[in-house]
Chains A and B, each alone.
Chain A
Amino acid sequence: MDRQRRHLIVFAAALACFAASTLAQVPWQLREAGWLAGEGQLEALSSEPAYDRGAVFQTAAQSDLAGQYPSQQALQHDLLVGEFLFKTPLLLGGQAARAGLSCNSCHVNGRSNPHFKFPSISGEPGTADTTHNFFSETLGNDVHDPVPIPDLTQAGKVSHDPVTGELETFLRTIVIEEFSAPEQSQAYIRPLASFVRALQLSNPTPLRRDRSARHDWHDAMAMVSTAMEEADNANTDLAALLLSGARNRMAAIHARLIRGKHDVEREWLISQSRNLANLQLALRADELTDSDVSKSYAAWQEGLATTPDFAAVQEQSLYNRAQLATLLEQ
């Protein structure tokens, strides 16, 4: 074999090996590709299990769960808070938050994730070592023992009976000990538990739906609304956390819009994210002033007047399966 050809083969092998390495460069714009692997990667990036928020509320409202709340409205609000915390990476701490993982990364819309494969943490796709010291500061057991990621809509080993409080204890262990969240995250366990209970009560369809900018944008908008309700109730830390979830959702949209083609939409998202950042700062200020919060929120609302038509651009973006497939092939 001549030298040039041998070099070419070695170079190709190098590229392949390097691409397989996590320390290689996962494109920032598709960060979740870093923990989705194998043949199902395209499927996992372009679709998700269907989730019917209204149906989940309705089932919960007709269950014992409703008895824990003074009103249907209070239940609905807590379920929204729980769902959005579930989708917020900053609920967690340490390496999980750095990597951009949320509960939803493993349990997509409450289901399992058969394509989840985090380097060194997963075994087969769809598994995770819950006692690895990469994520946990306290639970590391020095044994690589990944377990299948459970579907939270199905009955599991942990009792959901609110009387026992077993679910709350379990969630606390996961959030704070397994994923190194700060101790104050304990305050958010209740809505998270309600959401997980509601998931199990629901009878979700096995269907999947395409990932869409419309869904992601609606989620972001709903997160901001929910955050502002919390702010009105003086729960400013929770409000700021939910706003981080909204910004994360906007990042997901931004990630799939194409530079050079969707620059206006991308810039608009960044600008609106900055408005939310200012709102977060105003909420976290030592001396909370209504005017600062109002001013920042007004800037966000003003920005909404020029909301791009995401549904119109998504066909030409990485929400489009074919476009995404081309990128992944590259």
Chain B
Amino acid sequence: MTTLKIFETRNHKRAFALVLASTLIAAPITYVSAAGGGGGGGSSPSTNAPRYDPAEEYRAGVIALDAGDHDAAIDHFKRVTRAARRNPDAQYLLGVSYMRAGNFNRARRPLEAAVRYAPDMIAAQRDLALAYVELERMDDAQEILGELNTRSEACAQRCAETADLADAIRVVEGAVTGGGQAYVGPDISQLANAEAADALYYQAVGLINEGQYEAALDQLDDAALAFGPHPDILTYQGFANRKLARFDRAEAYYNGALAIAPEHIGALEYYGELKVERGDLEGARDHLAKIEVLCSFGCYEAEELREWIDNADT
């Protein structure tokens, strides 16, 4: 068995999976409220009810993984993946947790799921290839190596992920040939650091403010790896995609956010704006009505959406 060693990974740029909207099972998964730039929830009787928060569970998993408690990390990520089966970050870190526990057989499935739901997630591809090597499935490892090489050639040094691709190729090649460096996975301590993780999110929103939507999506991918299925992040993934005129993707992300947090006013607002852009004013008004109920004392999100609707009306 290969000896494992840490190396860093970041900047996996997520390919879009339209299925994201259905990634969150419909069971009683709701979110208490979301602060930050994505908006917050209002008060309502239901806020007293016990709720399951996959983002909180995900963070607990990250902390456990960082602390070396692989069993606890596995338990946490398993629960997140039950709630958000198609969340690639949760699947990926579940796989990483198994790998760190030395159980490559168990690591394989969640890593395959991560790659399936986020085909461009370089770290997941790399780690899956390494798991295949450990399981002596060399053909499968070679196939991933081929995909990474193809992407790297297509990138031709011009992509944001050029360095990550080169790093992944080097590591997988080493593992396949048996002469390379070994592995353990992403830099979990960075993900576990709340301040650093927050910074990823704030930087992403800053990039959105400046209209750098592609760069913001890269940054949001990093934030998503730190926070998992968090409605604030999903909302801004939707927003950036909307600004890039990828309306279907945007809608899927908004739906993903609202599946976790049905009262997320940021997601309701931005999804309402998308509906305005699509000419669905009635749908947008429904969103506004929901926000007005949630914001008993008024909020910026309601003002913004109302302005969008008014402007479309005139």
Residues of A within 8 A of B (CB): 3, 6-7, 9-11, 13-15, 17-18, 20-29, 31, 34, 89-90, 93-95, 97-99, 119-121, 132-137, 140, 180, 244, 247-248, 250-251, 254, 259, 269-270, 273-274, 276-277, 280
Chain B, 175-191, CB within 8 A of any chain A CB: none
Given the complex, which residues of A lie within 8 Å of B41, measured CB to CB?
28
Given the complex, which residues of A lie within 8 Å of B195, measured CB to CB?
20-21, 119-120
Once A26-B35, A28-B43 are accepted as A-B contacts, the answer to whether A21 and B206 lie under 8 Å apart by CB is no
Chain B, 34-70, CB within 8 A of any chain A CB: 34-43, 48, 53, 55-56, 59-60, 62-64, 67, 69
Q: Say yes or no for B311: interface residue by CB 8 A criterion.
A: no
Q: In the complex, A140 Cα to B209 Cα: how many Å? A: 9
Inter-chain contact B301/A98, CB cutoff 8 Å:
yes
> Which of B35, B62, B296 gathers most chain A CB within 10 Å?
B35
Inter-chain contact A140/B210, CB cutoff 8 Å:
yes
Given the complex, which residues of A lie within 8 Å of B149, measured CB to CB?
none
Residue of B nearest to A89 (CB): B300
Inter-chain contact B59/A18, CB cutoff 8 Å:
yes
Inter-chain contact A136/B209, CB cutoff 8 Å:
yes
Q: Say yes or no for B230: interface residue by CB 8 A criterion.
A: yes
Q: Say yes or no for B197: interface residue by CB 8 A criterion.
A: yes
Q: In the complex, A27 Cα to B48 Cα: how many Å? A: 12
Given the complex, which residues of B lie within 8 Å of A23, measured CB to CB?
34-36, 55, 197-198, 201, 227, 230, 232-233
Residue of A nearest to B207 (CB): A133
Inter-chain contact A28/B33, CB cutoff 8 Å:
yes
Report whether over half of chain A's contact residues are helix, strand or loop; otherwise say mixed.
helix
> Which of A22, A89, A269, A273 gathers most chain B CB within 10 Å?
A22
Distance in angstroms from A267 CB to nearest chain B CB is 10
Given the complex, which residues of A lie within 8 Å of B203, measured CB to CB?
120
Q: In the complex, A273 Cα to B205 Cα: how many Å? A: 31
* List of 6 A-B pairs having minimum Cβ-Cβ separation, nearest first: A133-B206, A251-B297, A14-B63, A120-B202, A97-B300, A21-B194
Report whether over half of chain B's contact residues are helix, strand or loop; otherwise say mixed.
helix
Q: In the complex, A94 Cα to B300 Cα: how many Å? A: 8
Q: Say yes or no for B4: interface residue by CB 8 A criterion.
A: no
Once A120-B199, A133-B210, A137-B209 are accepted as A-B contacts, the answer to whether A10 and B296 lie under 8 Å apart by CB is no
Given the complex, which residues of A lie within 8 Å of B60, measured CB to CB?
11, 14-15, 18
> Which of B41, B60, B194, B233 gathers most chain A CB within 10 Å?
B194
Q: In the complex, A220 Cα to B195 Cα: how many Å? A: 36
Q: Say yes or no for B121: interface residue by CB 8 A criterion.
A: no
Chain B, 158-176, CB within 8 A of any chain A CB: none
Residue of B nearest to A277 (CB): B298
Residue pairs across A and B with Cβ atoms less than 8 A apart, 6 shown, are A10-B63, A22-B201, A25-B35, A89-B300, A98-B301, A270-B297
Distance in angstroms from B89 CB to nearest chain A CB is 14
Residue of A nearest to B193 (CB): A17
Q: In the complex, A20 Cα to B226 Cα: how many Å? A: 14
Q: In the complex, A269 Cα to B298 Cα: how many Å? A: 12
Inter-chain contact B207/A273, CB cutoff 8 Å:
no
Q: In the complex, A277 Cα to B303 Cα: how many Å? A: 11
Q: Say yes or no for B292: interface residue by CB 8 A criterion.
A: yes
Inter-chain contact A254/B296, CB cutoff 8 Å:
yes
Q: Say yes or no for B107: interface residue by CB 8 A criterion.
A: no
Q: Say yes or no for B88: interface residue by CB 8 A criterion.
A: no
Distance in angstroms from A242 CB to nearest chain B CB is 12
Q: In the complex, A17 Cα to B192 Cα: how many Å? A: 8
Given the complex, which residues of B lie within 8 Å of A93, measured CB to CB?
300
Inter-chain contact B300/A259, CB cutoff 8 Å:
no
B61-83 vs A: 1/0 string, CB under 8 Å? 01110010101100000000000
Q: In the complex, A120 Cα to B210 Cα: how many Å? A: 17
Given the complex, which residues of A lie within 8 Å of B34, measured CB to CB?
23, 25
Inter-chain contact A18/B296, CB cutoff 8 Å:
no
B217-257 vs A: 1/0 string, CB under 8 Å? 00000000001001011000000000000000000000000
Given the complex, which residues of B lie within 8 Å of A7, measured CB to CB?
64, 69, 71-72
Given the complex, which residues of B lie within 8 Å of A25, measured CB to CB?
32-35, 53, 56
Distance in angstroms from B182 CB to nearest chain A CB is 25
Residue of A nearest to B31 (CB): A25
Inter-chain contact B63/A13, CB cutoff 8 Å:
yes
Given the complex, which residues of B lie within 8 Å of A136, measured CB to CB?
209
Distance in angstroms from B222 CB to nearest chain A CB is 13
